[in-house]
């Protein structure tokens, strides 16, 4: 009996002593980190001004959604797809998400597919529509895994794909409306909830591409695979 009690007491002491060392090793899951806190920006770099990072796919989403293939499949579930025949015109935009990686190129650009995931984005390239660029927050100093989306609605090819009036707010709102709820593609079912974060980024047109004002709201999407 004495030996058993002594052993249990020793085990308790060891557990208590090591608990403080074990805790920091566990990665804490977060929705996202504020880019500005790490020296980043809520605007990407479009060359002459920046486009707002106005939608975030939360780091608390199902991990498979946050991969390169995962965000493409999810995009197809909500009405977007890869660019027409994989062709991209123009220089990729960059963003600094305050995670220690500095300014990095967009991961991918996805366009409204008008109901056809295979060739529908070719129509978007001609007549215009909604589209978004993806940036991943995964640097050592702020590794949330969240995907920051620069969403905007653009004019047709004859207008050189300039952003429509109020196109950043409109593009964000249309994407969120398309994403919220239950959708599926390629045998994967997604359920998406949306949370508006008013005043998360600066409002107004200062530094914004094309001088188009934004309302300062960022929408946080949490996407769960069912």
What are 128-150's pLDDT values in tens digits?
899 999 999 999 999 999 999 99
Determine how many CB atoms are found less than 10 A away from the CB of residue 64. 14
Q: Can you tell me the mean pLDDT for 28-51?
A: 94
Sequence-distant (6+) residues with CB within 8 A of 51 are 43, 44, 93, 133, 150, 152, 168, 208, 209
Upper half-sphere CA count for residue 221 (Cβ side, 13 Å):
31
218 alpha-carbon distance from chain centroid = 11
Three-state SS annotation for 49-89: CECECCEEECCCCCHHHHCHHHHHHHHHHCCEEECHHHCCC
pTM as predicted: 0.85
Sequence-distant (6+) residues with CB within 8 A of 142 are 33, 35, 37, 38, 97, 98, 99, 100
Q: How far is CA 52 from CA 16, 60, 145, 195, in A?
A: 47, 22, 19, 17
Q: What are the boundaries of each domain within the chain? A: 29-225
Percent of the chain with pLDDT over 90: 74
Mean pLDDT, the chain, as a whole number?
A: 87
pLDDT of residue 11: 38
d(CA 30, CA 61): 10
Give the H/E segment covering residue 112.
Answer: strand 108-112
87 pLDDT tier (thresholds 50, 70, 90): low
pLDDT of residue 25: 35
d(CA 90, CA 83): 12
The three-state secondary structure class of 223 is strand
pLDDT score of 26 more than 80: no
* Phi/psi of residue 178, nearest 5 degrees: -70, -30
The three-state secondary structure class of 17 is helix
Sequence-distant (6+) residues with CB within 8 A of 145 are 59, 63, 66, 136, 137, 138
Question: Which range (4-13, 54-63, 74-83, 169-178) has the least confidence?
Answer: 4-13
pLDDT of residue 126: 86
């Amino acid at each position: 009996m004495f030996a058993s009690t002594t052993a249990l007491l020793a085990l308790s002491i060891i557990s208590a002593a090591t608990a403080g060392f074990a805790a920091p090793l566990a990665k804490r899951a977060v929705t996202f980190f504020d880019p500005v806190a790490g020296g980043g920006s809520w605007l990407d770099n479009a060359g002459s001004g920046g486009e707002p990072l106005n939608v975030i796919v939360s780091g608390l989403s199902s991990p498979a959604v946050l991969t390169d293939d995962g965000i493409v499949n999810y995009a197809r579930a909500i009405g977007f797809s890869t660019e027409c025949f994989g062709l991209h015109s123009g220089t990729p935009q960059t963003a600094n998400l305050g995670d220690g990686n500095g300014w990095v190129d967009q991961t991918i650009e996805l366009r409204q597919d008008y109901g056809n995931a295979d060739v529908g984005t070719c129509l978007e390239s001609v007549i215009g529509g909604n589209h978004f660029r993806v940036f991943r927050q995964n640097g050592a100093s702020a590794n949330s895994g969240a995907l920051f989306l620069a969403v905007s609605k653009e004019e047709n090819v004859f207008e050189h794909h300039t952003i429509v009036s109020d196109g950043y707010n409109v593009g964000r709102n249309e994407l969120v409306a398309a994403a919220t709820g239950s959708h599926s593609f390629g045998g994967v079912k997604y359920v998406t909830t949306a949370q508006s974060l008013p005043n998360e980024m600066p409002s107004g047109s200062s530094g914004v591409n094309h001088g188009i004002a934004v309302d300062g709201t960022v929408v946080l999407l949490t996407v769960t695979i069912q």
